[in-house]
Structure 1
Amino acid sequence: MDIDAFKQEVIQYSKEIGIDKIGFTTASTFQEMKNLLIRQQELNYQSGFEEPDIDKRVDPTLIFNEPRSIISIALAYPSKMKNAPQSKKGERRGIFCRASWGQDYHVVLRKKLQLLEDFIKEKVPGAMAKSMVDTGELVDRAVAERAGIGWSGKNCAIITPEFGSYVYLGDMITNIPFASDQPIEDQCGTCNKCVDVCPTGALVQGGQLNAKRCIAFLTQTKGFLPDEFRTKIGNRLYGCDTCQTVCPKNKGMDFHFHEEMEPDPELVKPLLKPLLTISNREFKEKYGQASGSWRGKKPIQRNAILALAHFKDETALPDLISVMKEDPRPVIRGTAAWAIGKIGGDDSVSVLKEARERETDEEVLTEIEKGLSFSAITE
């Protein structure tokens, strides 16, 4: 078989099924990435969502029998929303990051990879492949960088010349020895905007991220958000786009190639108050198809409470008081108490004192005290 000719067939087919960019690389160990991951582990910068075995994240031979090459794919997603609703007094809204617009990208990319895998197996008897998107063992960014999809930016995202960093990535390990493509030279230069504006200082330096401080990670946690980050997340409900929106390489980048990636404005920029009491069923019906729903409604509701505090939305006080009194979950009750104190208002102190008399959970009581401290009135 003419491998080079077949590679061109694969490239052509990838275009036909809507893959926006494709690259090929060897199946050798990603040694540089291994060194980076070891350093991240030493510094305790990992989020905990990753594959814990570093060797599996960098060595294809540990997850695939006799790998010969890896295919990397990229799909461009929109950066701008048409007819975006406006947040206004009494009707404040939150925001989901761009990577959670439309249908869950894991599903979209897996479908593309499956089509590509089927094509390869149909053409080459005995061909084997293993595909992965985000939650697989390999580091998608390392594969994409070596396969020439883009360079690894200072914001720790792959930046492509064609689409900026607004791309989803997927990989496929194969037992076919496709020729490798050339990596793209780093084009960040002296620009340091993403590092300079990171709201929490999660970007320690260009190319180094403390994931535990990253808002994208923090919005997905389920416990109480640490105090130092509560005023940093603004109205973000899921994810963070700051290090992408400030990137000069993303200027003017907005692609609407895939209908399934188009956002529903009312879902990705929703009213905050209705989120406080949304049922499990309604949440699943509305958000079940979005990647931002994978942790369930609790983190989204907690973040919505913090967003109302961010806006100091006094019209939300009745809703927050109700949540503080009635919600069975300590994290939600406690965060509501904190938000009530943060917003203030004539009755905030009295309702917090009343809640203090009734509450039995120690963590919630701590949050009530924090809420009271905003008014500097304690017994």
Structure 2
Amino acid sequence: MDSKQLKEAIIDYSKSIGIDKIGFATADVFTELKERLRRQQALGYQSGFEKGTIEERTEPARLLPEAQSIIAIAIAYPSRMKDAPRGTKAERRGIFCRASWGVDYHVVLRDRLDKLAAFIEEKVPGAITKSMVDTGELSDRAVAERAGIGFSGKNCAIITPEFGSYVYLGEMITNLYFPPDSPVEDSCGDCRKCLDACPTGALVQGGQLNAQRCLSFISQTKDFMRDEFRLELGNRLYGCDTCQQVCPRNKQIDFHIHEEFEPVAEAAKPKLKPILSISNREFKEKFGHMSGSWRGKKPIQRNAMIALAHFKDQTAVDELIRVMNEDPRPVMRGTAAWSLGKIGTPEAFAAIESAMEAEKDDQVLYEMEKGLQFRDNARAN
């Protein structure tokens, strides 16, 4: 079996194991990406979640010395939730981004890549493969673009002709040679809807993202959130879909191909107040299957409090007072105090003033002062 025949056999097999799209690329150095990453690093635009050095992220041979080709895969996920629960004034809800709705995609894509690797090794004994999904050194998007999976849009997502940008990406480096596929033509044109819609201006320009301003990254941090981002977070608990939602290439795109990615509605769009008192065990039971749980409950709880403030949910005041007075974590106490001030009931302001007398942490006290500032501003106006 020559390389072309093997490639066709792999393509056929990939369809049988639930891979929606597959492409083949050379394992050459990603020279343009290397320069772009250096610029991003110099500008301070990286998230800090990136794995490996710039060289490891752009030179496949550093990860697999025998590298000849890279196989890229894409699997589609839904953009709409069937029978989505609706929030009410008494029970407000938050939202996880679509990429986190079902079973953790890392688990699913690794399974597909493992099966693909076993198939290749059966066909070519001695074949060497190295797979990765998202958390590996290589840039999934750069590989997918080179392999013809889709083009890299102005929103920095890979946009496929078939599934829009609602796809998970993974790749496999191998010592086997395959005829490479051709890249897909960029068709963003003059459109700039994603740039204009980004809540925080994280999309600096088409194809350039300042991750430090991206709500998707910010929602995963564990420290106090900057005030300007709190005002834009809305009811997001994890991630942000805005730049995908406004993309014309995603209009009417909604694929429910894989059962694993169907959301558990009460987990993907949960009630906010119960999150504030959720135990570690309960958090794992409810959210542990989702990729959005990887940072633990702390960011989700912080974001839930900010969401309650966004809704000015007066029914949450008692629970927020409890968090402010009893939670051992400064970020939780401080965010609760700020949220109480944003909600702005007399009871909330009185509770902040009372809590300040016992509070010792300077950052928490600062947040309490900011909470009371909402009252002072209202009086001044």
In the superposition, the TM-score normalised over structure 1's length comes to 0.99
Q: Which residue of 2 aligns with 1:129?
A: 129
In the superposition, the TM-score normalised over structure 2's length comes to 0.98
Q: Which residue of 2 aligns with 1:79?
A: 79
Judge conservation of contact 2:221–2:299 (CA < 8 Å) in 1: yes
Q: Which residue of 2 aligns with 1:282?
A: 282
Q: Which residue of 1 aligns with 2:21?
A: 21
Q: Which amino acid in 1 is paired with 2:240?
A: C
Q: Give the match's secondary structure for 1:232.
A: helix
Q: Which residue of 2 aligns with 1:241?
A: 241
Q: Deviation per CA, 1:100-135, whole angstroms, max 9, x where unpaired?
A: 011000000000000000000001011000000000
Q: Give the match's secondary structure for 2:168.
A: strand
Q: Which amino acid in 2 is paired with 1:71?
A: I
Q: Which residue of 1 aligns with 2:163?
A: 163
Q: Which amino acid in 2 is paired with 1:242?
A: T
Q: Which residue of 1 aligns with 2:298?
A: 298
- Once the two structures are TM-superposed, the CA of residue 371 in structure 1 deviates from its matched residue by 0.4
| Mapping of residues 104-119 of structure 1, within 5 Å | 104-119=104-119
Q: Give the match's secondary structure for 2:375.
A: coil
Stretches of structure 2 lacking an aligned partner (at least 5 in a row): none
Q: Give the match's secondary structure for 2:84.
A: coil
d(CA) in 2 for partners of 1:207 and 1:273? 37
Stretches of structure 1 lacking an aligned partner (at least 5 in a row): none
d(CA) in 1 for partners of 2:123 and 2:52? 36
Q: Which amino acid in 1 is paired with 2:45?
A: Y
Judge conservation of contact 2:323–2:336 (CA < 8 Å) in 1: yes
- Once the two structures are TM-superposed, the CA of residue 268 in structure 1 deviates from its matched residue by 0.5
Q: Give the match's secondary structure for 1:305.
A: helix
Structure 1 outlier segments of 4+, above 6 Å: none
Is 1:220 paired with 2:220?
yes
Judge conservation of contact 2:91–2:271 (CA < 8 Å) in 1: yes
Q: Which amino acid in 2 is paired with 1:60?
A: P
Indicate the RMSD between aligned Cα atoms, in angstroms. 0.9
Q: Which moved more, 1:167-176 or 1:345-354?
A: 345-354
- Once the two structures are TM-superposed, the CA of residue 348 in structure 1 deviates from its matched residue by 1.9
- Once the two structures are TM-superposed, the CA of residue 52 in structure 1 deviates from its matched residue by 4.1
Judge conservation of contact 2:52–2:137 (CA < 8 Å) in 1: no
| Mapping of residues 47-86 of structure 1, within 5 Å | 47-86=47-86
d(CA) in 2 for partners of 1:7 and 1:158? 23
d(CA) in 2 for partners of 1:230 and 1:125? 54
d(CA) in 1 for partners of 2:136 and 2:352? 46
d(CA) in 1 for partners of 2:274 and 2:104? 23
Q: Which residue of 2 aligns with 1:4?
A: 4
d(CA) in 1 for partners of 2:348 and 2:303? 20
Q: Deviation per CA, 1:243-294, whole angstroms, max 9, x where unpaired?
A: 0000000001100110000001111000000000000000011111100000
| Mapping of residues 1-379 of structure 1, within 5 Å | 1-376=1-376
Q: Which amino acid in 2 is paired with 1:209?
A: L
Q: Deviation per CA, 1:307-363, whole angstroms, max 9, x where unpaired?
A: 000000001000100110011100000000000000011212211110000101111
Q: Which amino acid in 2 is paired with 1:9?
A: A
Q: Deviation per CA, 1:47-90, whole angstroms, max 9, x where unpaired?
A: 00002400000001111021010000000000000010111101
d(CA) in 2 for partners of 1:363 and 1:317? 21
Q: Which amino acid in 2 is paired with 1:182?
A: S
- Once the two structures are TM-superposed, the CA of residue 227 in structure 1 deviates from its matched residue by 1.1
Q: Which moved more, 1:269-278 or 1:48-57?
A: 48-57
d(CA) in 2 for partners of 1:237 and 1:3? 46
Q: Give the match's secondary structure for 1:117.
A: helix
d(CA) in 2 for partners of 1:290 and 1:349? 36
d(CA) in 2 for partners of 1:119 and 1:347? 65
Q: Which amino acid in 2 is paired with 1:260?
A: E
Figure out how many residues of one structure are paired with residues of the other and give that number: 378
d(CA) in 2 for partners of 1:13 and 1:32? 32
Q: Which amino acid in 1 is paired with 2:193?
A: K
Judge conservation of contact 2:80–2:254 (CA < 8 Å) in 1: yes
d(CA) in 1 for partners of 2:20 and 2:350? 58
d(CA) in 2 for partners of 1:347 and 1:19? 55
Q: Which amino acid in 2 is paired with 1:263?
A: P
d(CA) in 1 for partners of 2:133 and 2:245? 23
d(CA) in 2 for partners of 1:142 and 1:289? 28
d(CA) in 1 for partners of 2:109 and 2:165? 16
d(CA) in 2 for partners of 1:347 and 1:49? 40
- Once the two structures are TM-superposed, the CA of residue 367 in structure 1 deviates from its matched residue by 0.4
